[in-house]
Amino acid sequence: MTPDLDAIVTDIIAAMAQEDDRGTVASYIPELAKVDPAQFGIAIATADGRLISGGDADIGFSIQSVSKVFALTLALGKVGDQLWDRVGREPSGNAFNSITQLEHEQGIPRNPFINAGAIVVTDINLGGHQPRVAIGEMLRFIRYLAGEDTIAINEAVAASETATGFRNMALANYMRAFNNVRHPVELVLGSYFHQCAIEMSCRQLALAGRYLMLDGGHPGGGRVVSPRRARRINALMLTCGHYDASGDFAFRVGIPGKSGVGGGILAIVPGRASIAVWSPGLNTSGNSQLGTLALEELARRTGWSVFSPPEEGD
Ligand code: GLU
């Protein structure tokens, strides 16, 4: 049975407005601490070309670590499976910015969705160029995926993180000591902080994620990645997309998702939907409190899960 997404979105927005516990807005990046926690947005791009959205779905927010999905896609396009010589594919079970694990693992980060892994991916995407070239490429890629030319970087957020990102500097320097970061650390981080500071609305983010619901195809025709690569990226989102709460997210929501400390989550129902939710307040694991709740409710109401048996006609 086709779920009535308009009704479900309306109900979810009403339910989220009633929630008292909205989590805490990230403050370790000072610019993010200024965001009003009362906001909530949701957008669902479906495989049959519809876009259902509600709440603050048109307000731009800092995508932060959701950018790691697009950065990984670009890097795999550049170096293919060689990427896995430098980054693992296992859930970390540790916080997003953990430094201790790196020492045990000789500078090879657990997966591309923790900060250390994303910094290596950024190093790959730099490919000997200046950060502005790599950042320009990333912006063009995201605009092409979303079909929206207005997507841009919030320079104030990038500057705020550049001024305070000491932990990421430590991670990058540490990996440089193992030669797993190959460019000068300031160039890699310049690129990394800017990609995290890309600003998108839920509507734009849901549109940008469509290739992952379409087995790697671009909705406008042609292919972004092969079906195998799209499935692998989804697998990593399911197992590693929510840091040390990835298991809990898979248990509660049951679909691949990637969160960011800006409060956004991109979630994919293969063959059915690309979903973006946003609410700036985070839970103790650094994932959007209301965003996670909303996705849990959406999955419950629609029956969407990567663990459900195929429906007739699938
Ligand atoms: N720019 C953030 C950082 O590196 C991203 C973290 C996140 O979104 O989880 O700390």
Neighbouring C-beta atoms of residue 40, cutoff 10 Å: 29
Domains of the chain, each with CATH number or no CATH: 5-64+201-302 (3.40.710.10), 65-198 (3.40.710.10)
Q: How far out from the chain centre does Cα 154 lie?
A: 17
pLDDT one-digit tens code per residue, 134-186: 999 999 999 999 999 999 999 999 999 999 999 999 999 999 999 999 999 99
CB 65 near ligand 1, within 6 Å: yes
Nearest CA residue ID for atom 4, ligand 1: 115
Model's pTM, two decimal places?
0.97
Query: Ligand 1 pocket check: which of 24, 28, 62, 115 to mutate, most ligand atoms within 8 Å of Cβ?
Result: 115
Predicted confidence at residue 247, as pLDDT, reads 95
CB 196 near ligand 1, within 6 Å: yes
CB 274 near ligand 1, within 6 Å: no
Ligand 1, closest atom to CA 115? Answer: 4
Alpha carbon separation from 34 to 63, 89, 160, 261, 298 (Å, rounded): 15, 34, 12, 13, 29
Predicted confidence at residue 271, as pLDDT, reads 97
Q: What is the mean pLDDT of the chain?
A: 95
Ligand 1, closest atom to CA 66? Answer: 8
Q: What is the mean pLDDT of residues 52-75?
A: 98
Query: Ligand 1 pocket check: which of 121, 153, 161 to mutate, most ligand atoms within 8 Å of Cβ?
Result: 161
* Spatial CB neighbours of 110, under 8 Å, sequence gap ≥ 6: 88, 90, 91, 92, 94, 101, 116, 117, 240
